[in-house]
Structure 1
Amino acid sequence: METRMNVGTKIEHGGAHIEYDSLMNLDEGWVSRKVFYDRDIYEEEMRQIFARVWLFVAHESQIPNPGDFVTTYMGEDGVIVARQRDKSVGVFINSCPHRGNKVCHADGGNARRFVCNYHGWAFDIGGNLMGMNAEEVYDPGDIDKSEWGMQPVAKVGVYKGLIFATFDPGAPSLEDYLGDYRWYLDCILDSDEGGSELVGGTMKFMIPMNWKVAAENFVGDAYHAAWTHDSASKAMTGGMAFPPIDFENTFHSSANGHGLEFGLDGIGDIALLGRPKVTEYFMDVLKPRMEKRLGALRSQIFGSIASASVFPNLSYLPGISTFRTWLPKGPTMTEVRSWTIVNRDMPDDIKDEITKAVMQTFGPSGTFEMDDGENWEHSTITNKGYVTRQGRLHYGCGISRKDDHAELPGIVHRGQFADSNQREFHRRWHDLMTAESWDDVPDRRSNRLKGRETRDLPQGLKSL
């Protein structure tokens, strides 16, 4: 039975008075349109969610050597992610503590130091202040350099190649944050001996939408695919339409807001790449390896029509191999950063074929990306209308399909056409927006798995 939210939850921060329980009732299956447009709600998201959850900042393959770095954002806070000399990873705010100027303007590279172009303050790759231009203008005692480096994040964690960071020293461990969802995440990170890597560079583009519109689409909206992407799928597959959905063998699974919707046919998403060479490699080489490594069930899940999100803003399509973050730039603008994720041990020609297929389908001019971007834009900007914004959005599909599945971890619902994971995504959003600290955030993974001994877990969870 789903937990009902306490009535009258109101949070007051920074002058905002927001009645969160008036914004959604997920037991009834609706969400207020204001969630996707209101400026005060957005500002509270920066404080209540992005300033304290674990956020994906880079893949280890992007910074393999000491001095390698990339720049990105955690919420709207710019950060530098740099490989240190001891091979650890440092993450610190990309802002000079002298006058606040952005220190590093490059997307990535290799550096021995970062130097602010305003007054020449110089920092090592760990963000420590090493010296300043015309340092003689400072009298003895004016500054203690050890206290004026670039501000580091509270914690950095790595899970099988994915680098995450959090600003909140009270955040749970990364392993606890990902929790049972790691069973699904391993389908793209640990399906072969060599692990994963990002290839082909970074695609960056802007969509005038609220970040949650895209994140919740990837976490569970298979419903739109056969309609929105009908022509694109036929173009990629030589005229083949989306296969009919088998409700008995399709699922939604969510764990603390992270979610995957998927089938068990093992081929649907692979076929959408439109690359026979890739299909042959996946079916004949990778999936047999995956079955030995992760078990038969996950080898069936991989490659099926599926989409996934790690709360709050990391999404991917297993099988199609697009991997992306939704970086918020205000309540009605989002920067998309997208990569191609592959197994490191794949042959180079297969990696090249997958990269081209991802660009053709889910790049800025991709056949599927353009379909989605137009929908997401208009799903956001229609809420500009005052009267429109007072309305509700329906999230009730599949509300009674919860299934205590014997093998699948997470909060599982049957049926690929459902709002189940989207409801759990917004439930996690509500949890964080109304919690004063992590102690107030409930555990919303599968009740079936709580308290079990390791020996009782489904295949693959024993290694977590």
Structure 2
Amino acid sequence: MALQRSDVPDHLNLCSLDDGWLDRRVFTDQQIYEAELERIFARCWLFVAHESQLPKRGSFLNTWMGEDQVLVVRQADGSVNAFLNSCPHRGNRVCNAEAGQARGFVCNYHGWSFGIDGKLTGVHEAAAYDREPTFDRSRMGLTPVAQIETYKGLVFATFDPDAPTLRDYLGDFVYYLDVILDNDEGGTEFVGGSIRSELGCNWKIAAENFAGDALHAGWTHASAADAVLGQPVSELGHADAESYHVNVNGHCWEFNLDSVGNAATLDDKRILAYLRQQEQTFRERLGDLRARMVGSISSVNLFPNFSFLPGQNTFRTWQPKGPHRTDLHTWVLVNRNAPQEVKDAWRKGAMMTFSPAGVFEMDDGDNWEFATRANAGVVTRRQPLHYGLGLGTRIEHDELPGNVYRGQINDANQRHFYRRWSDLVCSESWEEVDRRTKEREQ
């Protein structure tokens, strides 16, 4: 049942993002969290798989859309579909494996079985059901998602039949996505399986960090950068570097065009050599400006909860499990045509830096967990948070689409992230979301 306007807490309207302030209660309020599940995770397009994870008919993986578990399955005709991983009889899971290949799925509770197309194929004690005139097998299949589409290897799904198309949802952000998804004719793939871990933080704190928090890097990761690279993060760029925050529909990318390599590639000679060898290909496919973004020091969040670092090639989803808990699923993306030694270097580099034991991820996890706990205090959560860095830095750029802001040390992307978040949580329909966005941009 859709949330009514009265179900949305009034204090959401107290966020004054134009002045650079945010209400802390967005990180701690259970009612707000329930509104997020209904109006963001049950409505937006969410990343569910990379096509390379589903190589054959019957290949599947288990993932989450909000707190709804779904099975993503390669169909007999080569297409991909996704279904709730919940039996329509008593609700038990029909598959407990994280990934694999199957001819169908069977519920452990009462033996109902389903094909890879989600249709009910059999039941235990079938004769009893055959005697029941109201039992309609055609209505007893696994519930499919409302829409599922792919963009250059990335598979997205939504539970909302009225959601805009994936292409409209992404908008001009595809210009930036192609930097990592389409810089080589062979496309991309995920390698090395998946790492899953748990964080005691609100999902938005992690998502907004990847949306563009370059400010924390030189401070939070100073010792880790010294250990891994032999120099502080703050010394890897230049004070007058060409850098930007860009955002479209709440999707955010921050990058520094003068710091390709080094921290972004962990100073691995194999990766650096590969990037140099491919420079001409990058320019031919992407143009000179976007070619400089490949392997740059940058971070991205595709709204709401799909993040990646284009240099380290770590991709992750922040799966919400309540206001104070997030499950992190992590993969490594590489060019399919890259040499195996380069793929291995990226995979090992991601494990060293952005994994549960990674030198950078441990720093981030501590900060996110302590911030979530501190914001929950009765008096603390009454105090607004400052998001005012970079007010007035928006520019018009000849090549970069979307909302463009000069400077990598900026809060611009975080402000746009929360504007999109607020538009969705406070709107009863996509039409209202669009109206709010247009009114703000006028």
> How far apart, in 2, do the equivalents of 1:41 and 1:211 lie?
13
Tell me the CA shift for residue 142 of structure 1: 3.7
Cα separation, partners in 2 of 1:164 and 1:432, compared to 1, 3 Å: same
Q: Deviations over 1:180-234 (max 9, x none)?
A: 0001111111010110111000000000000000000000100000000111112
Q: Deviations over 1:75-131 (max 9, x none)?
A: 000000000000111111000000011111110000001000000000000111111
Task: Note if contact 1:262-1:306 (Cα within 8 Å) is conserved in structure 2.
Answer: yes
> How far apart, in 2, do the equivalents of 1:145 and 1:15 lie?
39
Partner amino acid, structure 1, of 2:25 = K
Tell me the CA shift for residue 287 of structure 1: 2.8
Tell me the CA shift for residue 272 of structure 1: 4.8
Tell me the CA shift for residue 237 of structure 1: 1.2
Tell me the CA shift for residue 303 of structure 1: 1.8
Partner amino acid, structure 2, of 1:424 = H
- Pairing of 1:36-75 with structure 2 (within 5 A): 36-75=27-66
Report how many aligned residue pairs link the two structures. Answer: 438
Look up the SS of the partner of 1:301 in the other structure: coil
Look up the SS of the partner of 1:325 in the other structure: strand
Look up the SS of the partner of 1:277 in the other structure: helix
Unaligned runs of 5+ in 2: none
TM-score (norm: length of structure 1): 0.91
- Pairing of 1:61-100 with structure 2 (within 5 A): 61-100=52-91
> How far apart, in 2, do the equivalents of 1:161 and 1:82 lie?
15
Pick from 96, 101, 107 the counterpart of residue 110 of structure 1.
101
Look up the SS of the partner of 1:440 in the other structure: helix
Q: Does 1:13 align with 2:8?
A: no
Look up the SS of the partner of 2:218 in the other structure: helix
Task: Note if contact 2:301-2:307 (Cα within 8 Å) is conserved in structure 1.
Answer: yes
- Correspondence for 1:237: 229
Q: Does 1:132 align with 2:156?
A: no
Q: Does 1:369 align with 2:361?
A: yes
Look up the SS of the partner of 1:386 in the other structure: coil
Tell me the CA shift for residue 321 of structure 1: 0.6
Task: Note if contact 1:157-1:174 (Cα within 8 Å) is conserved in structure 2.
Answer: yes
Unaligned runs of 5+ in 1: 1-10, 451-464
Cα separation, partners in 2 of 1:428 and 1:324, compared to 1, 3 Å: same
Task: Note if contact 1:262-1:307 (Cα within 8 Å) is conserved in structure 2.
Answer: yes
> How far apart, in 2, do the equivalents of 1:161 and 1:316 lie?
15
Pick from 132, 138, 151 the counterpart of residue 159 of structure 1.
151
Task: Note if contact 1:409-1:446 (Cα within 8 Å) is conserved in structure 2.
Answer: no
> How far apart, in 1, do the equivalents of 2:279 and 2:370 lie?
39
- The 4+ residue runs of structure 1 with deviation greater than 2 A are 11-17, 20-23, 238-248, 268-272, 442-447
Partner amino acid, structure 2, of 1:441 = V
> How far apart, in 1, do the equivalents of 2:123 and 2:357 lie?
45
> How far apart, in 2, do the equivalents of 1:168 and 1:271 lie?
37
Look up the SS of the partner of 1:91 in the other structure: strand
Tell me the CA shift for residue 15 of structure 1: 6.6
Partner amino acid, structure 2, of 1:412 = V
Tell me the CA shift for residue 445 of structure 1: 8.9
- Correspondence for 1:421: 413
- Correspondence for 2:251: 258
Cα separation, partners in 2 of 1:14 and 1:409, compared to 1, 3 Å: closer
- Pairing of 1:10-409 with structure 2 (within 5 A): 13=4, 16-138=7-129, 139-239=131-231, 241-242=233-234, 243-247=236-240, 249-268=242-261, 271-282=264-275, 284-409=276-401
Tell me the CA shift for residue 140 of structure 1: 4.2
Q: Does 1:434 align with 2:426?
A: yes
Task: Note if contact 2:188-2:336 (Cα within 8 Å) is conserved in structure 1.
Answer: yes
- Percent of aligned pairs with the same amino acid: 51
Tell me the CA shift for residue 16 of structure 1: 3.0
Cα separation, partners in 2 of 1:278 and 1:244, compared to 1, 3 Å: closer
